[in-house]
Amino acid sequence: MIMDGSAIYGSDANKNAQVRTFKDGKLKIAGNGLLQHGEDGSRSPEMFGTVGPEFLHCRLSSSKNTTVCDAIKHENPFFSDEELYRHARLVTAAVIAKIHTIDWTVELLKTDTLYVGMHANWYGLLGKKFKDAFGHLGSSILSGFVGMKKPENHGVPYSLTEDFTSVYRMHPLLPDTLHLRDTHAKPGKDKSPPMKQEVPMIDLIGLKGEKTLTDIGFTGQLVSMGHQASGALEIWNYPAWLRDIIAQNPDGSERPDHVDMPALEIYRDRERKVPRYNQFRRSMLMVPISKWEDLTDDVEVIKTLHEVYGNNIEKLDLLVGLMAEKKIKGFAISETAFFIFVLMASRRLEADRFFTSNFNEETYTKKGLEWVNTTES
């Protein structure tokens, strides 16, 4: 979804058609502001199996699509439905990418240096005010990757690597329950509305989750999630409810076999030949560990690593290493994951023509480009 909004729009023509009105480029939005549901309560075909935060993300983005359509149509009254839809989707996807660059990643890497670095990816070291006033100077260092004259893919067609997928396995960020807040009550001393109910996260996924979240409402979701801290990306902090989860088919029907998500993630990395932890570090010219104590100071973790892997450090699975690794102060992710983040955060912008050679009014429309450029936190 970060790249193209496919969780909202669908990943192929058939799924795309299910969420479109085919009028003025807009999506099927119900009276409550959410994407329209079917008779069985189902929504976007891409969303089965996702959880509350992603549902909320889609709600924000789908409503944004409608607003963007209206703005572009006002400026271009003769645009067809297809033209409005394609331009609105392009603008919405670009806004998602921008938020991910200058907001989301910055929250994972809470240091002044990384704040400057991620904003430099978008605006360059000269900053937003200079770029807004004088445009792109031709240097990605001074003016950022966005707006370069042509994409730079370093000889590899634009894509996301399996390595990036692996370090993006961040399920420990999810809590076991959603602390549902009473949005009609006055905030307490901590400025948070009182909690009225704990909703198990398992009740917020799939078809059942669609219905539960619709009952909670957009405001309730936004306020509740905004006042609840995420989990830490640490070993032994994987959500218990993901150890025995019922997978669903695209039509929302349940599959017979339950899934142990952390075990599945380890299996996927091994099957896809993603390097184990030490080799992963070597591949990025990082110093590999030579003993378990190089990875962590936690005695219990070291003892468990010995039980699972013995003294064969080279067998350490990537995901286990990422969760066990000592964190840099201010970092929610490990240093190893950070290296991939830095590489891919740049690549997803500099290798994409829609952020480089086609980041212009001709492609986005005047209003669309203005929308992307003025969207800030």
Alpha-carbon Rg for the chain, nearest whole angstrom, is 22
Residue-wise pLDDT tens digits, 49-101: 455 455 555 556 677 888 999 999 999 999 999 999 999 999 999 999 999 89
pLDDT, position 49: 45
Q: Among the residues of 100-236, which ranges form H helices? A: 105-108, 112-123, 127-134, 140-143, 162-167, 206-216, 218-226
Query: Would you state the pLDDT for residue 133?
Result: 94
What would the mean pLDDT of 261-270 be, rounded to a whole number? 96
Buried b (16+ CB within 10 A) or exposed e, 45-68: bbbbbbbbbbbbbbbbbbbbbbeb
What does the pLDDT average to over 12-22? 88
Kindly tell me if the per-residue pLDDT of 377 is higher than 80: no
Q: Ramachandran region of residue 365, left (φ > 0), alpha (ψ -120 to 50) or beta?
A: left
Question: Quick one: pLDDT at residue 345?
Answer: 87
User: What integer pLDDT is reported at residue 34 of this predicted model?
Assistant: 66
Q: Does pLDDT of 254 surpass 50?
A: yes
User: In a 3-state reduction of DSSP, which class is residue 332?
Assistant: coil
Question: What's the chain's average pLDDT?
Answer: 89
pLDDT for the residue 32: 64
pLDDT for 1: 45
Tokens of 193: 């509305």
Residue 122 three-state SS? helix
pLDDT band for position 4 (cuts 50, 70, 90): confident
> Is 364 an active-site residue?
no
Under 8 Å between Cβ of 127 and 103: no
Q: For residue 171, say whether it is annotated as part of any ligand binding site.
A: yes
Backbone angles phi, psi at 246, to 5 degrees: -90, 115
Mean pLDDT throughout 282-286?
A: 95
> Which tokens is 12 given?
């192929």
Res 42 pLDDT > 60: no
Please give the angle made by the CA atoms of 177, 181 and 182, to the nearest 5 degrees: 145
* Residue from 9, 168, 238, 267 carrying the catalytic annotation: 168
Query: Helix (H, G, I), strand (E, B), or coil: what is residue 256?
Result: strand
Quote the CA–CA distance of 81 and 69 in Å, as a whole number: 9
Cα gap 280→164, rounded to integer Å: 11
Residue identified by tokens 């085919």 is 22
